[in-house]
Structure 1
Amino acid sequence: MAANVDQPEPTDSSTRSFDSPAPLADDLRSADWRDVPSRNDAMSSALAGAVGGPIGRHALVGRSRYFTPMRVILLLAVVFLALGWSTKAGCIQQTSIGEGQVGLDWSGSRQYVAMCYSDTVPLYGAERLDQGAFPYKTSWEETRGDGTVQVRYMEYPVLSGLYQYGAMKVAKAWDSVTWLPGAIQVALYFNVVAFGLALAWLVTVWASTLLAGRRVWDGALIACSPLVIVHVFTNFDPLATAFAAGGLLAWARKRPVLAGILLGLGGAAKLYPLLLLGPLLVLCLRTGKMREWSTALLSAVAAWLAVNLPIAALYPHGWYEFFRLNSERGADPDSIYNVIASFTSWTGLDGPLAQGESPSNLNAVSLLLFVAVCVGIGYVALTAQRRPRVAQLCFLLVAGFLITNKVWSPQYSLWLVPLAVLALPHRRLLLAWMTIDALVWVPRMMYYLGVSNKGLPEQWFTGTVVIRDIAVLVLCAVVLRQIYRPGDDLVRAGGIDDPVGGVLDGAPDAPPSWLPKWFRPRVHKAGETTEPVSIN
């Protein structure tokens, strides 16, 4: 016989009550428009388990008072910047060099064995910054392999050179104050440089996160990129990424003058931010927004000239050094041209060169290939049935530039990180590429160590470069696929057009009458639609 247990009397929905631990707030607004990766992305959902699991189904989104997405992302960026500094710390250790003096300890090829190499450390002496020299004014002589002497100057664009000069002044001022913690000057210089670069990278993360729009958490991919750990302090490239991201943010906010100024200043630090004017050109041409683009272009030229003209007028030879070196240098170890040469008996486009002789054939081929990339991207931008997003074209252009260029310094991969995340926010695919690219640093350091010093043969390094290039090409292919199939574009899910577009966002096609028919958008067929579909 069943036990006699008191059962609650049934109630209907009209009499059922729900109790809350506290009175409900009057304001129940929720940012439901925001993408929530812990709900729709398997990897993010698994990672969320470490902090309590995915956000609840009935939770109000965007109501946190302190730990907002931006603050969390910037905090993650600080953590990864700290990891980046720790990977370089081994190269600023000091040792006794006799008679009670200390100096930098790079004995036993520490910079390669510990994989802590950073250009900023040797440049402190190589660019005569340790002597307090002003860049572009001070010169020195360098003996070439054939015995001839070359007069040298600061080899960086003006804004990067002035940044180094300013960091040197701060380091020397710090060193002159006896009650501050002391160290050898080059270590102080590196830390001053790193602090400024960290701030620049935080600006990059901040601006890119704002550009992500409803997909705000995509900014975490930039903050937590493995490439940050390896390369954020390898050279001065975060200065350029900050200006580039800031310029795109200003464009997205419909401020073409500010966008041009920031891109022009970025071009005075590294030339690549000026490339971003190219995608804006073809998209503005397609939509009839050439006035806005012309404003941005003139602002960029004015900003670039404002920085460069005084140095060029006062120290023309020092100012020209950057352009001279880029003209005369051969194929870098991880350029596609050197990769081909390392696996074949090919001696290069120019063959053996004399000291100071420019690789004219290599320069011409590299330029022609990049022009072909530009033409191809322009054709896609003008003829795709639906106008591509700004970030998609910017990523394709910068990736094409790196692949076809004769120089792909390892830290250049940082240029791609914000653009790739904004163009293709597929987390696992992006993390796979970033990890591959970051790991290229290991065989690179072992190759520089030299086979005679228990390092790796060149082909071990160039083989990983091939894998890196293939990974970047895969990203390019996926971006192109989504341009022609906008329904697969995660950014455009939910009816979004272009968060980075600014005046282009939602603008109808209005190509000029003089544009040939084959450079016009493809005509829609009956029953076709270009509206994106939500796949989240």
Structure 2
Amino acid sequence: MPVRRGGAAAAFAPVALLAALPVLASVWRQGPCLERGWGGQEPFWRFCYSDLAVSVQTSGADRGVRAFFAGDVPLDHPPLTGAVVSLVAGLAPGSGALATQRWVLGLWALLAVAALVLMAWWVRTSPGHRDVDPLQVALAPVAALTLLLSPDLLGVVLATGGLWAWSRRHPVLAGALLGAGVMARTYPALLLVVVAMHAWRTGRERELVGVAGGALGVVAVVAGPLLLTSPSTVTRAWAASFENGAGLGSVWYLPTLDGNAWSPTTLTVLGVLGVALAVVLAGVLVLGAPRTPRLGAVALVVVAVVLVSGRSFPVQSSLWLVPLVALAGLRWRDHLVWALAEGIHFVAVWLYLAGLRDANRSLPPSWYALALLLRVAAVVYLASRAWQTATGPSVGDEDDPRGVPEPVPEVGAARI
């Protein structure tokens, strides 16, 4: 066993080193803003806008995590994300808004390298996913575009860890990580539903008690202190999402481009219907398939449906899909088709925003609409490919209803 583990670690080392490349690309793209700041329209033209950097300044996050728990840092993020951003900003050694922003992005870049390595390792070591490619996480083009745009990475890491822990038969840990993920980004709540369906299909219903206990315990630890000191901080991000109109990237933004924005109530109804559709599709896939489908593929279908049907689909939300694409077992061809569409939309959205104050330099709304639809179509394509591969042959626990990996013949430390 020690030889196998050492061999696996050695084989994974190049993947870990390559994970720095998307982060370096993100930092390079932030160069103009790191030099001049993130104010005005210039960051849009130079493709270096970062909500992470801007929100640190506008919310006063540099006052630290104590101020956040007191309700004095109005970050529009779920509680755990807001606390982490405030903690990082509060540790800034320099003074002044720009110095703090540079510190936050620099430290976040270092954390991003560790996060990509960790998620790639989880993909590599998930039972039933031995044919997946961890490089699809470590070298994801979409990660290079989105890592420093927002603090979404925190929720993505926790959600990925939760799926890994469930696949490794650690239900309490899975629940704790997914519960923390819900406190960092909302979408891991969908993964809890996927895990529950998978448990029912594989005869692991009793383990859901551990999942529920772990999730509720972490939610209580994170939200409890805030409910005592600043209840509005717990619900601020979610309440704001129900009050906002259609956001960039959403198909429901198309009427806004035409000057006929839909009401928040209508968008809420459409969003709820999208979540319901995602849950129904997951049920059909998990409970109706001839063999237990890949957990990552089901998760990809669910998250993709919610993203394309939601009231907002910002550029940074695509980071949610990166580890799921790998866990679903999709090929690089599918990954790159999606990445190309994301890249086109990435350029289009900043040109569109940059031109809102200067009609002579604006990207026409019709061109932005085309880029938006191309991106949505690419995500739908990912979901369809995940559906096709969900019931395909796999090695390990998903072919065995009891979740026991099949033995792998070995010669020494080499697998054959």
**TM-score, normalised to structure 1's length?**
0.69
Residues 1:175 and 2:94 are matched in the alignment: yes
> Matches of 1:397 and 1:249 in 2, distance apart?
17
Q: How does 1:260-299 map to 2 (within 5 A)?
A: 260-299=175-214
> Matches of 1:217 and 1:276 in 2, distance apart?
20
How many Å apart are 1:188 and its aligned residue? Answer: 2.2
> Matches of 1:373 and 1:119 in 2, distance apart?
28
> Matches of 1:439 and 1:114 in 2, distance apart?
15
Change in Cα spacing, 1:254 to 1:465, as seen in structure 2 (3 Å) is: same
Q: Percent identity?
A: 25
How many Å apart are 1:253 and its aligned residue? Answer: 1.5
Indicate conservation of the 8 Å contact 1:194/1:233, yes or no.
yes
Task: Say which SS state the counterpart of residue 386 (structure 1) adopts.
Answer: coil
> Matches of 1:208 and 1:425 in 2, distance apart?
12
Residues 1:466 and 2:387 are matched in the alignment: no
Q: Which residue in the other structure is 1:197 paired with?
A: 112
How many Å apart are 1:162 and its aligned residue? Answer: 0.9
Give the residue type in structure 1 aligned to 2:61: L
Q: Which moved more, 1:475-484 or 1:253-262?
A: 475-484
Indicate conservation of the 8 Å contact 2:396/2:403, yes or no.
no
> Matches of 2:292 and 2:381 in 1, distance apart?
21
> Matches of 2:344 and 2:303 in 1, distance apart?
21
Change in Cα spacing, 1:78 to 1:502, as seen in structure 2 (3 Å) is: farther
Indicate conservation of the 8 Å contact 1:222/1:418, yes or no.
yes
Q: How does 1:219-230 map to 2 (within 5 A)?
A: 219-230=134-145
> Matches of 2:379 and 2:255 in 1, distance apart?
17
Q: Report which structure shows greater RCO (CA 8 Å, sep ≥6).
A: 2
Greater share of helix: 2
> Matches of 2:128 and 2:309 in 1, distance apart?
32
Aligned length, in residue pairs: 400
Residues 1:416 and 2:314 are matched in the alignment: no
1:372 pairs, out of 277, 284, 287, with 277
1:126 pairs, out of 37, 52, 58, with 58
Give the residue type in structure 2 aligned to 1:226: P
Q: Which residue in the other structure is 1:449 paired with?
A: 354
Q: Deviations over 1:86-110 (max 9, x none)?
A: 111221114xxxxxxxxx3746x32
Residues 1:481 and 2:382 are matched in the alignment: no
How many Å apart are 1:332 and its aligned residue? Answer: 0.6
Indicate conservation of the 8 Å contact 1:221/1:421, yes or no.
yes
Task: Say which SS state the counterpart of residue 67 (structure 2) adopts.
Answer: coil
Q: How does 1:292-331 map to 2 (within 5 A)?
A: 292-331=207-246
Q: Extract unaligned runs of 5+ from structure 2.
A: 407-416
How many Å apart are 1:117 and its aligned residue? Answer: 0.8
Q: Deviations over 1:113-153 (max 9, x none)?
A: 1101111221122111245571253459xxxxxxxxxxxx3
> Matches of 1:409 and 1:454 in 2, distance apart?
22
> Matches of 1:187 and 1:397 in 2, distance apart?
36
Q: Which moved more, 1:205-214 or 1:423-432?
A: 205-214
> Matches of 1:273 and 1:264 in 2, distance apart?
8
How many Å apart are 1:378 and its aligned residue? Answer: 0.6
How many Å apart are 1:237 and its aligned residue? Answer: 1.2
Indicate conservation of the 8 Å contact 1:251/1:502, yes or no.
no
Residues 1:137 and 2:76 are matched in the alignment: no
Indicate conservation of the 8 Å contact 2:141/2:339, yes or no.
yes
Q: Which residue in the other structure is 2:158 paired with?
A: 243
Q: How does 1:348-387 map to 2 (within 5 A)?
A: 348-350=261-263, 359-387=264-292
> Matches of 1:436 and 1:123 in 2, distance apart?
27
Change in Cα spacing, 1:405 to 1:502, as seen in structure 2 (3 Å) is: farther
**What's the RMSD between the two structures over aligned residues?**
2.8
Q: Which residue in the other structure is 1:166 paired with?
A: 87
> Matches of 2:7 and 2:202 in 1, distance apart?
39
Q: Which residue in the other structure is 1:59 paired with?
A: none
> Matches of 1:64 and 1:294 in 2, distance apart?
36
Change in Cα spacing, 1:320 to 1:65, as seen in structure 2 (3 Å) is: closer
Change in Cα spacing, 1:112 to 1:212, as seen in structure 2 (3 Å) is: farther
Q: Which residue in the other structure is 1:78 paired with?
A: 20
Q: Which moved more, 1:211-220 or 1:453-462?
A: 211-220
How many Å apart are 1:408 and its aligned residue? Answer: 1.1
How many Å apart are 1:341 and its aligned residue? Answer: 4.8
Give the residue type in structure 2 aligned to 1:472: V
2:398 pairs, out of 494, 498, 517, with 498
Indicate conservation of the 8 Å contact 1:164/1:193, yes or no.
no
Change in Cα spacing, 1:105 to 1:416, as seen in structure 2 (3 Å) is: closer
**TM-score, normalised to structure 2's length?**
0.88
Q: Deviations over 1:175-198 (max 9, x none)?
A: 27xxxxxx7332223222332333
How many Å apart are 1:476 and its aligned residue? Answer: 1.7
Task: Say which SS state the counterpart of residue 135 (structure 1) adopts.
Answer: helix
1:218 pairs, out of 127, 133, 156, with 133
Indicate conservation of the 8 Å contact 1:386/1:483, yes or no.
no
Residues 1:404 and 2:309 are matched in the alignment: yes
How many Å apart are 1:78 and its aligned residue? Answer: 1.0
Q: Deviations over 1:306-344 (max 9, x none)?
A: 1111112211123221122111011112111113553x6
How many Å apart are 1:503 and its aligned residue? Answer: 5.6
> Matches of 2:363 and 2:246 in 1, distance apart?
20
How many Å apart are 1:375 and its aligned residue? Answer: 1.3
How many Å apart are 1:460 and its aligned residue? Answer: 1.5
Task: Say which SS state the counterpart of residue 241 (structure 2) adopts.
Answer: helix
Q: How does 1:45-60 map to 2 (within 5 A)?
A: none
